[in-house]
A and B are shown apart, each in its own frame.
Chain A
Amino acid sequence: MQQFTCPFCGLRNETEFHFAGEAGKIRPDTLNEVSAEQWSAYLNHVANPMGHSREVWVHLPCQEVFIMQRDTLTMAVLGVEQLRREPK
């Protein structure tokens, strides 16, 4: 059972987290022309890197959506980024 750091709550067991996909996927602007290939890439293309990976995770108790960088070989957590700017 791994441990991850929620940017708000801190270090918690992995059972509190949910993997939400690869980071860096930008939703195509669907009000303009989006080819079938572009849409398919958005939905289906996953880099699935060996080693350094940038991922979107959710900490379920507080529902914070954030970026976590991990090494998919060693399972080391390389870093955690808050997704949103601080509220005013």
Chain B
Amino acid sequence: MSGSRIQNNALIDRGKTLSFQYDGKTYQGHPGDTLASALLAAGVKIMGRSFKYHRPRGVWGAWFDDSNAIFNIALGADLHPNCPATTTYLEDGMQARSVNAFPSARFDIKAMLDWFSPFLPAGFYYKTFMRPDWHWFEPTIRKMAGLGKLDDSVSDGYQSDQIHQSCDLLIIGAGPAGLAAAVNASKNGSAVVLVDDHNIAGGSVYQLASDIENQSPNLWVEQQIATITKNGGRILLSTTAYGVYDHNLVALVQDLGFARAPRLWRMRANRILITTGAIDRPITFANNDRPGIMSASGALEFLGRYGVLVGKNIALLSSHSHTGDTVNRLHQAGVRVATFTAGDNSPIAVGGKNLRALNVDSISHPCDIILASGGLTPLVHLWRHAGGRLEWDEAIQAFIPASATTSLRAAGAANGVYELDEALADGRAAALDQPSPKAKNTYRIKPFLPELNSHKRQWVDFQHDVTVKDIELAARENYASVEHLKRYTTLGMASDQGKTSNMTGLSVMASVQERTIGQVGTTTFRPPFVPVPLEIYRGVRRRQLFNPPKRLALETQHRKANAALGEYGGWLRPAWYGEGDAQETINREVIAARNHVAIIDASPLGKIEVIGPDAAQFVNFVFYNTLSTLNPGKIRYALMLSERGIVYDDAVISRIDQNRFIISCSSAHVDGVNNALEAWRQDGHDPDRVFVHDTTQNWATITLSGPKARALLSCLEIAVDLSPDAFPHMTFQQSDFMSAPARIARVSFTGDPSYEISVPTLHAPALWSAVNKAGKSLQAALVGVEALAILRAEKGYIIVGKDTDGETMPHDIGFSQPRLRKKSAFVGDRALHTDAANADNRRRLVGLSIPASENRLVTGAHLIDASGSKPRSTGYVTSSYDSPTLARPIALALLENGAVKIGDRVTVWNQGDVRQATVTMPCFYDKDGALLNA
């Protein structure tokens, strides 16, 4: 027992008492306490077990610089893992358990792992547990690794708010320098935002509790805040700036309380001022990880913010300009302090779970707490995030901010300015983007050097249990560069990301190599500065808002008709209609489409208009097929290629008049086709003479397909001559429907006579209603996308991306004329005459015939050539269905040199199952097109 609560001006509400549990025992604390401060006040010393060796640990620091006290916390129905005790504010009823310890941190059954430490040094997994097979040991080792416990249930309502904001000046850290800067900037009329990760501003002012500008620290802080607020500045507390990104974007995570998802602020600042302060660095000495060894400034934080005295009989290891102030402060609090400096030899901490003494020069000095102050380390992580450089300051033994983009600045302790008056001046100058007054840095430090070649265990990274010996080992094995040192030893790779271990590790490596720390350098710091929940990046993107498909204007009608709905090409579309067996329903739809008439909502099909005097020349260039010869009123099927000659999309193109084309591309590629057209329009053509209007969503399209399609169409109140001579296949007519424009295109995706009726979307319900009414007497059937796929496959109409792949060129799927004959340039033209394009063994679209008695082939099954020494894939099945129309299985495939293999037998292999099929032309229905042109 060493900690206790004392009376002072701490920032806690002593009038209220909160009750909580830790490792099964009950304790009390006050609002304003963290779990760590409340436990320390109650005399608890052991608050965790280390990751690898399960050594007992107490708190080292008072904020994010502690990595030992990590708890799983339950409160009400919420269970959150891995909460740092030093940064989690106490709430009544919390039940905390140490991670990595069972049954408690005080008595952990895995403590005996420490006895195996000789077999578990840095990088042990490269040397031990390798034979016969690492995988034998891996599961057990993995189970023993890891921290925290996840709750299996999903947290409903855990949703992060994400907000964009901007400001003139973002000041990160509301300590003295930051507060002074915010006052100055807000007085100057700048839009200032000041953030601090504590729930009460002030930073380090509470540590020494000395007056600031003739005021008590609490009062001084309150006054700064009042001034800032009065001048329109904004202050965000409990908010951590965890990342600085390019172009001055700073990510802020705002804590909203335990188990409440934090808020993410994306703050864009014209200027960023980093006043994040500095933390104390540990000292490496024998047994320096024992519970009861703490950072000196951490102890002063506990004293100033929380009114907690960490011990009564303190041994202080400290050799720098602030040592005297620390001693005075502790004396004020009634503590006995014995000070030891860097000249004193071989400090050893004595005592396991209960610290008893500090041995120095073989003399034992009894104490209940050892405070170690290896020197101030400016928190420069954010400076590095956006590429700011650091330089080593030998006098103060620290990395301080050097050059950066002009809009990044640091002030105060973060800038290596440790004296209060200088820090205030530094902050005030930085706020106005003025040069800082040239102050003489009076801070001096004599570093404690690590004892090398010692058998004693001296700890460097508390979280990953990395010792001086591990660093010596890394140096011996030539993992000496700072980047290798980190990865080989795992120093600085735990959740604290080296906040306390980085500097001590570099110091050891520098000693080992007899270089300065500045010469050794430091690894790069990257966001996040503290662990943040992934939830802050998810926010609203869940359930109905997780990749939502677009919705059809006729969705209500489809649902009323019992449609099964699925996502196709980014739209929620009817897959089939009805509640019964899906496959049977789909087959019935196919039969109805072939024998009567199908009603299909084809609204997602693209309707991109290309308009202007150069429209014909433009579409002729962008598409493979010749389109300049397409006459008004006519429709042509065309392929869009990439410049590599690969089929990107297929479209049906109508020419309305001399200057106007409508590209009806596949629904999944509307945006892609639109972007491609715009790119060619602006970069390669005269954009004043051709324009691209994506009118897809302005028009709803209902397709009528089948032998009775014409009959149904004639029942509608659309005035159009439907006779085959007046309205042949691949032409269109314009008319109207209920005084709205109607376009009727005679184009087929099914192989049967089809009419696509397009009306403005607002009239879609009326058209749907009319079509359904008229269709009743004709045995019309609503047909979904699944049946449509079968109808297409029966006819050999490809689906781009399904029956074509990333290598398919137009001549592979039967479109060879433009490649040979088109006289004008077009996208992909040269690619169609490369060696690869001319190769004999290109995969070509074919059909596959299977006896009616057999099961259909599996899509993706390989077509095998077994003639050589090893079987080889020569292609694969792209579409495969049981054809209701033909009462047998059909398939389409891409097959090497398929054109000359028509009639041949081919072996089809799928995961060991071997079948036979006959290669046919890729069309099974109405091969001569007689029905289509009726």
Contacts and interface: CB of A to CB of B under 8 A. Distances in A.
Interface of A: 1-3, 18, 20, 27-31, 34, 36, 39, 42-43, 56, 58, 63-65, 74-77, 83-84, 87-88
A44 to B, nearest CB: 9
A85 B246 CA distance: 31
A31 B830 contact: no
A31 B675 contact: no
B678 A65 contact: yes
Most A-side CB within 10 Å, residue of B246, B266, B682, B683 = B683
A36 B682 contact: no
Contact of A65 (B246, B387, B679, B829): B679
Interface in B233-291: 245-247, 249, 266, 268
Nearest to B245: A1
Contact of B830 (A3, A39, A75): A39
A64 B829 CA distance: 26
B42 interface: no
Contacts of A58: 675, 678-679
Nearest to B251: A1
Q: Is the interface of A mostly helix, strand, loop or mixed?
A: loop
Contact of A34 (B245, B249, B687, B830): B830
B157 interface: no
B249 A1 contact: yes
Contact of B643 (A29, A43, A84): A43
Contacts of A1: 245-247, 249, 266
B684 interface: yes
Nearest to A32: B825
B683 A56 contact: yes
Nearest to A75: B246
B644 interface: yes
Given A2-B247, A31-B825, A36-B834, A74 B387 contact: yes
B840 interface: no
Nearest first, the 6 A-B pairs at minimum CB distance are A65-B682, A75-B246, A3-B247, A63-B678, A39-B830, A30-B825
5 contacts: A30-B825, A34-B830, A39-B831, A42-B643, A58-B675
Contact of A39 (B678, B684, B687, B834): B834
A62 to B, nearest CB: 10
A74 to B, nearest CB: 7
A81 B691 CA distance: 21
A36 B835 contact: yes
Contacts of B684: 27
Nearest to B644: A43
A29 B621 CA distance: 13
B830 A83 contact: no
Contacts of A18: 675
B688 interface: yes
A63 B834 contact: no
A65 B245 contact: no
A11 B178 CA distance: 29
Contacts of A29: 825
B679 A20 contact: yes
A34 B886 CA distance: 48
Nearest to B643: A43
Contacts of A36: 834-835
A64 B643 CA distance: 21
Contacts of A75: 246-247, 387
A63 B675 contact: yes
A29 to B, nearest CB: 8
